[in-house]
Amino acid sequence: MINTSVEIAGVQFKNPVMTASGTFGSGSEYSEFVDLNTLGAVVTKGVANVPWAGNATPRIAETYGGMINAIGLQNPGMETFCNRDIPFLKQFSTKIIVNVCGKTTEDYCQVVERLANEPVDLLEINISCPNVKEGGIAFGQDPQAVEQITREVKKRAKQPIIMKLSPNVTDITVMAKAAEAGGADALSLINTLTGMKINVQKRCFALANNCLLNISEPTRLLSISYAVFCLKKKKKKKKKKSGSHASDVRIPAACIRHCIGWS
């Protein structure tokens, strides 16, 4: 048989097929349609320190190039997740990657500390969330904030951490290097792109939150490819400049996980 196993940040997966955060709930929602035992990992929907209600409806709309969404990271909070969803997932022979979200660095750290002794394999840190202490700018749009939150999370995490980068930046390689400097074990490329849909007949936004929204598949596939290209190009430039061998040069962080999903 073909060996399909892969390793990410020291964790062995039986195959590289895994769900994308936000598209699969926490596994139970799709377990009647998909055998979770066949997956390399289930990547859960974002988990916060307290329950989040999410945005008002409508919050999904079809577009010419796919769809847009503004779910607002609706989730039941870390206590319900730990008591209900983790025991359910442990019934299956698949790895568990928990997506973590928050509004402040303290929020992220609280979730990471709560998960420290839970039987989960990796943590994916969603840094596309707005930082309420810095005027609402997303953590992932400021390299200093990326490095700082990565470092704080890494101090408290007992599992390897994957930093999920935002594509809504001028240069994603800067954010990748900041995550690496903060101690990230892996990178996830990418979160959703911002966009907008307007109902021209009603002269209003298509979704209820009346702001920039998240563009989902298939439009994002090209952006994911470009993000990977940028990081690889940075690696090649470093190699050429230093004259080192390929094995001496690495893409920022230990590895990159291609992630296609919404929040």
Task: Write out the chain in H/E/C secondary structure.
Answer: CCCCCEEECCEEECCCCECCCCCCCCCHHHCCCCCHHHCCEEECCCECCCCECCCCCCCEEEECCEEEECCCCCECCHHHHHHHHHHHHCCCCCEEEEEECCCCHHHHHHHHHHHCCCCCCEEEEECCCECHHHCCCEHHHCHHHHHHHHHHHHHHCCCCEEEECCCCCCCHHHHHHHHHHHCCCEEEECCCEEECCEECCCCEECCCCCCCEEECCCCHHHHHHHHHHHHHHHHHHHHHHHCCCHHHCCCCCCCEEECCCCC
Q: How far is CA 153 from the centre of its chain?
A: 15
CA pair distance 153, 151, nearest whole angstrom? 6
Which residues are the active-site residues? 129
